[in-house]
């Protein structure tokens, strides 16, 4: 295998696949990046068996072939090379010789056939989504997934394809986000798939604005085809919880408040909360909300009152301040709307105005105030 490529061209594609190379692995071959050369196209792939990423770059070649090269070494040298032309030759012992104007480097690689092949799967469904729509829906939902390593089904984002309705849902059992976009052409209900956050992260990191993403679904994989990339994500197995059932339909106490004002107030009050529970209190009364916290162990407490639109029942609710900040940070309207039921039931939050064809809903469970 022999080809020439500009270092800057190779750098871009290489650094985006290297992110997927696992830092620690029991399968040493996964520490490599696979390079395969055909029709003047150099295809690079990396995998951790859960997520596989593939991209390509145009090169000049007179001898096709393939090799798996250690990701760390090739990544480190490419990062540090100035803009030069690389002439890369790989011999029959999988040794790659990289020649540039400034020097020559040799890297020992592995037979490309040792590298796990790209997952083959029978595509069952294909859906085209605008890249910007997918980006928005994922980045709104991603923060609420569970990280606790216990229940794998809620450790991913639930992507649900209903007739002309695309949803992303995430929850960790204490909060939940549901983002719906009604402007995606889907002929029929296809169902939902739990997608690994790592694969979604690869999409978010590598995509460019505009354009379309082709989502291909098989029994075990969800593939994202966008720009020059293909990301294969092994679907997370398990039943996603029946999230609609836990979204309250009759929370009658509506609070509308300035998002920035509330966010900075919660941040200040968090300073005075117990470090473990991060518990703060919202005291709702007519046209105001009082945010307070105390930590008896350290003898500290804080209290602030902000004006807001509220004419529901007077009540005091405890929340984990971190959860509230996550919600406030992911709502992009000037004002945010909360619908509360009682001090022990789920509270809902939305942007004060939904975008066209979009429905964002966030839910957060309270902290019990009295034992």
Partner 1 sequence: MNKKKRIMHVDMDAFFASIEQRDQPLLKGKPVIVGGEPGGRGVAATCSYEARKFGVKSGMPIALAVKKCPDGTFIRTNGKKYMYASMRVIEILNRYSPKVEPTSIDEAYLDVTGSVKDREDERKIGESLKREIRRELELTCSVGIASNRIFAKIATNMKKPDGLTIIADEELEKKIYPLPISELIGIGKKSEGILKNLGIKTIGDIAVYPENELERVLGVNGPLLSKLARGEGSDRVLAFDEEEEVKSIGSEHTLERDTCDENIINMILLKLSEKVGRRLRESRFAGRTVAVKFRYSDFSSFSKRCTYPFFVWEDNKIYSISKKLFYSVYKRTKKIRLLGITVSGVVKSYLNTNNNKIQTELFTNCNKSGKLLKTIDLLKDIHGEMAIARAAYLKIL
Q: Which residues bind partner 1 (CB under 8 A)?
A: 147-150, 171, 173-176, 241, 246, 274, 276-277, 279, 297, 318, 320, 344, 346, 363, 365-368, 371
Provide the minimum distance between the beta carbon of 116 and partner 1 in the complex, in angstroms, as a whole number: 23
Provide the minimum distance between the beta carbon of 367 and partner 1 in the complex, in angstroms, as a whole number: 5
**Residue number, 94 or 243, with CB nearest to partner 1:** 243
Provide the minimum distance between the beta carbon of 173 and partner 1 in the complex, in angstroms, as a whole number: 5
Provide the minimum distance between the beta carbon of 154 and partner 1 in the complex, in angstroms, as a whole number: 9
CA distances from 107 to 12, 91, 211, 301 (A): 20, 11, 37, 60
Q: In this structure, are residues 93 and 107 in contact, taking their beta carbons and an 8 Å threshold?
A: no
**Residue number, 8 or 152, with CB nearest to partner 1:** 152
**Residue number, 44 or 363, with CB nearest to partner 1:** 363
Provide the minimum distance between the beta carbon of 109 and partner 1 in the complex, in angstroms, as a whole number: 32
Provide the minimum distance between the beta carbon of 137 and partner 1 in the complex, in angstroms, as a whole number: 21
**Residue number, 264 or 274, with CB nearest to partner 1:** 274
Residue 255 structure tokens: 């609070």
Q: How far apart are CA 182 and CA 130, in angstroms?
A: 12
**Residue number, 107 or 365, with CB nearest to partner 1:** 365
**Residue number, 131 or 320, with CB nearest to partner 1:** 320
**Residue number, 36 or 171, with CB nearest to partner 1:** 171
Q: Which residue has the tokens 């105005």?
A: 353
Q: In this structure, are residues 305 and 288 in contact, taking their beta carbons and an 8 Å threshold?
A: yes
**Residue number, 100 or 274, with CB nearest to partner 1:** 274
Q: In this structure, are residues 5 and 61 in contact, taking their beta carbons and an 8 Å threshold?
A: no
Provide the minimum distance between the beta carbon of 151 and partner 1 in the complex, in angstroms, as a whole number: 9
Q: Which residue has the tokens 């052409």?
A: 185
Provide the minimum distance between the beta carbon of 176 and partner 1 in the complex, in angstroms, as a whole number: 6
Taking the CA of residue 57 as centre, how many other CA atoms within 13 Å lie in the half-sphere pointing to its CB?
A: 20
């Amino acid at each position: 295998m022999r080809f020439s490529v500009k270092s800057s061209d190779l750098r871009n594609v290489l650094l985006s696949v290297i992110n997927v190379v696992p830092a620690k692995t029991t399968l040493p071959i996964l520490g490599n990046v696979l390079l395969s050369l055909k029709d003047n196209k150099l295809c690079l792939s990396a995998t951790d068996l859960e997520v596989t990423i593939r991209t390509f770059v145009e090169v000049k070649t007179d001898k096709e072939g393939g090799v798996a090269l250690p990701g760390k070494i090739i990544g480190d040298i490419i990062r540090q090379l100035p803009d030069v032309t690389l002439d890369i030759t790989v011999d029959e012992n999988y040794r790659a010789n990289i020649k540039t104007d400034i020097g020559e480097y040799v890297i020992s690689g592995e037979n490309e056939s040792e590298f796990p092949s790209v997952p083959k799967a029978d595509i069952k469904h294909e859906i085209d989504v605008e890249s910007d729509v997918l980006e928005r829906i994922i980045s709104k939902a991603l923060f609420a997934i569970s990280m606790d390593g216990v229940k794998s089904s809620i450790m991913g984002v639930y992507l649900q394809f209903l007739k002309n309705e695309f949803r992303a849902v995430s929850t960790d059992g204490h909060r939940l986000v549901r983002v719906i976009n009604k402007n995606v052409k889907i002929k029929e209900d296809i169902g939902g798939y739990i997608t690994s956050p790592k694969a979604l992260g690869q999409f978010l990191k590598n995509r460019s604005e505009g354009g379309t993403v082709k989502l291909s679904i098989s029994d075990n994989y969800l593939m994202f085809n966008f720009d020059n990339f293909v990301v294969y994500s092994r679907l997370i197995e398990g039943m996603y919880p029946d999230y609609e059932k836990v979204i309250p339909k009759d929370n009658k106490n509506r609070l509308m408040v300035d998002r920035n004002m509330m966010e900075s107030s919660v941040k200040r009050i968090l300073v005075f909360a117990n470090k473990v529970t991060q518990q703060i209190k919202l005291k709702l009364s007519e046209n105001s909300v009082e945010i307070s916290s105390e930590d008896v162990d350290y003898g500290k407490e804080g209290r602030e009152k902000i004006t807001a639109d509220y004419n529901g029942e007077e009540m005091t609710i405890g929340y984990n301040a971190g959860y509230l900040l996550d919600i406030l940070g992911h709502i992009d309207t000037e004002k945010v709307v909360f619908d509360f039921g009682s001090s022990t039931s789920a509270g809902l939050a939305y942007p004060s105005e939904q975008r066209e064809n979009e429905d964002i809903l966030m839910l957060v469970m309270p902290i019990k105030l009295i034992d």
